[in-house]
Structure 1
């Protein structure tokens, strides 16, 4: 199934590294957007944002033999989608008036939308390659866990039932539901841990896995619908963003070339 990803941590590390370069320069005076340093930030940031908008989409539509896993391209998409806007923010010289201000506002909206989309995306179970997992495969995972629970002497029917949650709440509030379920089974596990710590740890892991698979089954249809709705909102915002960015670039080149 899907492997753990670290693109958010990589993005955070990259932002810290960029800040370590930017701050010493800014101490001497905030770099002007029209200066060499400011222009460099803007160009690199825009190129990263452009790659965010295009490369992953191209990879999704590639048929036959493709370069790299789709899940890897998604991680790159998320990474560049964070670092690009961050560089554009530094390029702005912290001035948000006029068209540049509108552009930064739209950039902030698209980044926030991206985080929401990623959260919804992770609610849909996928393989390591990024393909969706079929419902029967999810049910098969639960059956395997039930068999392992029985091997530990715990029947599936004796497992504390997770509180029923459906609709949007099952997708957006899944971490809260998991926390509540862990509290619900905490007393049973605590009693078992006193007698057999090893079995208690194994049981907790199995119950966590079973809860996760069951929640994914319960929320699968809703997650797919939410993801479809998110796409219909996110993509037009991205198109509008790059339209405004194009106008901003043309405007900048015009004033830099013809009006001095």
Structure 2
């Protein structure tokens, strides 16, 4: 397995999205508004990827007996969508970070940074292809400390994710209300 393959794929996807964004900027002679078709498309698809990041990986983790693929593949999917989705949402902002949208973007940046920290902690312990810790590969004390650090990371990462999605759903509700009902 190529280590960090999901990071390379996310980088390639970000490059492709950036090229498309650049073409739209060139053709429209300006940064697309968050409220136009392209801006909404970026926000919608980015948010869907972020929802997939959160829900699908979490469901798979809790369904250990299910045969829905290896956990390592699901973690790669989680990392890929957790990078590409927020990047698309960033482009959706039109580089304006005021109000609730700005708070939501701040939570998004924090959760992505937290995800990188979690990935670093997770990869410090040798695992099999299905994500099981290889016993005896690391001294027991290091394994114990790493597990404790990972548990601490979870207690921070999960509430930030909840705050992010709460803010995002409020932002979406407000955007729908003001864009449709008050026009």
Equivalent residue, structure 1, for 2:177: 254
Give the drift of 1:3: 6.3
Report if aligned partners of 1:33, 1:91 keep a CA contact under 8 Å in 2: yes
- Structure 1: which 5+ runs fail to align? 139-215
CA distance in 1, matches of 2:76, 2:93: 26
CA distance in 2, matches of 1:40, 1:11: 19
CA distance in 2, matches of 1:252, 1:34: 9
Query: Is residue 94 from structure 1 mapped to residue 95 from structure 2 by the alignment?
Result: yes
Report if aligned partners of 1:124, 1:224 keep a CA contact under 8 Å in 2: no
Give the drift of 1:63: 3.8
1:30-69 Cα deviation digits (max 9, x unpaired): 1110000000000000000000011111001114232110
Equivalent residue, structure 2, for 1:144: none
Give the drift of 1:125: 1.7
Any idea what SS the aligned residue of 1:67 has?
Answer: coil
| Bigger CA radius of gyration | 1
Equivalent residue, structure 2, for 1:67: 68
Equivalent residue, structure 2, for 1:8: 7
Equivalent residue, structure 2, for 1:84: 85
Query: Is residue 24 from structure 1 mapped to residue 23 from structure 2 by the alignment?
Result: yes
CA RMSD, 1 decimal: 1.3
Give the drift of 1:222: 1.2
Equivalent residue, structure 2, for 1:103: 104
Give the drift of 1:259: 1.0
Equivalent residue, structure 2, for 1:241: 164
Equivalent residue, structure 2, for 1:43: 44
Q: With the length of structure 2 as denominator, give the TM-score of the two structures.
A: 0.94
- Structure 2: which 5+ runs fail to align? none
CA distance in 2, matches of 1:42, 1:123: 34
Any idea what SS the aligned residue of 1:14 has?
Answer: helix
Equivalent residue, structure 2, for 1:230: 153
Any idea what SS the aligned residue of 2:119 has?
Answer: helix
Q: With the length of structure 1 as denominator, give the TM-score of the two structures.
A: 0.67
Alignment of 1:170-249 (within 5 A): 216-217=138-139, 219-249=142-172
1:221-260 Cα deviation digits (max 9, x unpaired): 2111110000000000000100000000000000011112
1:158-213 Cα deviation digits (max 9, x unpaired): xxxxxxxxxxxxxxxxxxxxxxxxxxxxxxxxxxxxxxxxxxxxxxxxxxxxxxxx
Alignment of 1:133-144 (within 5 A): 133-135=134-136, 138=137
> How many pairs align?
180
